[in-house]
């Protein structure tokens, strides 16, 4: 191989390796859930990294008003900790309720609810994900498959903002 051809090929290999490393090292700095589309997209800046098909609660339209209403809250919250020991395969907590949510619930004389998570499938039932993910089956959480949950946790650091909206 001639030296004239070797250097461009070597440069191409180095650039390709660096770009691949950059993609693999990419972490989300914002998560957006669009409930009407049943989609959750991870972003780094304005660039989408990954989009997941999600399951929500049985009554997904509108902002969560009270405990037990089967709704996922709407607004911007923080993904504030990872929970490994629950009834669902791995999860990350959404910082709902905030002060406004608590005040609104108090004015109505109800509990705002809480413990909203992005999580995988119910323990021991992950094999049902191809069927379960076709329906809204949570109590107001955001559900993805177990494999997707592993990927989500590798891409989304604790402290990442999450915006949840209908459209």
The alpha carbon dihedral of 33, 34, 39, 42 has a sign of negative
Whether 63 is a known active-site residue: answer: no
**CA dist 108 → 61, 66, 104 (Å):** 19, 9, 7
Distance between CA atoms of 107 and 140, rounded to whole angstroms?
21
Q: ∠102-40-68 over CA atoms, to 5°?
A: 35
Q: ∠130-132-133 over CA atoms, to 5°?
A: 70
CA atoms within 13 Å, Cβ hemisphere of 9: 6
Helices (H), the chain: 3-25, 99-108, 129-132, 146-155
Spatial neighbors of 133 by CB under 8 A, at least 6 apart, are 53, 54, 55, 143, 144, 145
Whether 30 is a known active-site residue: answer: no
**So which residues are the catalytic ones?**
119, 141
């Amino acid at each position: 191989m001639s030296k004239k051809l070797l250097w461009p090929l070597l440069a191409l290999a180095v650039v390709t390796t660096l770009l691949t490393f950059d993609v693999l090292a990419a972490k989300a700095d914002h998560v957006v859930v669009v409930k009407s589309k049943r989609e959750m997209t991870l972003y780094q800046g304005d660039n989408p990294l990954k989009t997941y098909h999600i399951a929500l609660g049985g009554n997904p339209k509108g902002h969560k008003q009270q405990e037990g209403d089967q709704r996922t809250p709407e607004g911007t919250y923080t993904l504030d900790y990872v929970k490994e020991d629950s009834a669902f395969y791995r999860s990350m907590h959404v910082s709902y309720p905030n002060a406004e949510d608590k005040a609104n619930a108090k004015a109505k004389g109800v509990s705002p609810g809480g413990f909203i998570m992005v999580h995988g499938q119910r323990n021991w039932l992950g094999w049902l994900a191809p069927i379960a993910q076709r329906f809204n089956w949570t109590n107001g959480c955001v559900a993805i498959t177990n494999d997707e949950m592993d990927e989500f946790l590798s891409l989304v650091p604790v402290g990442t903002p999450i915006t949840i909206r209908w459209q």
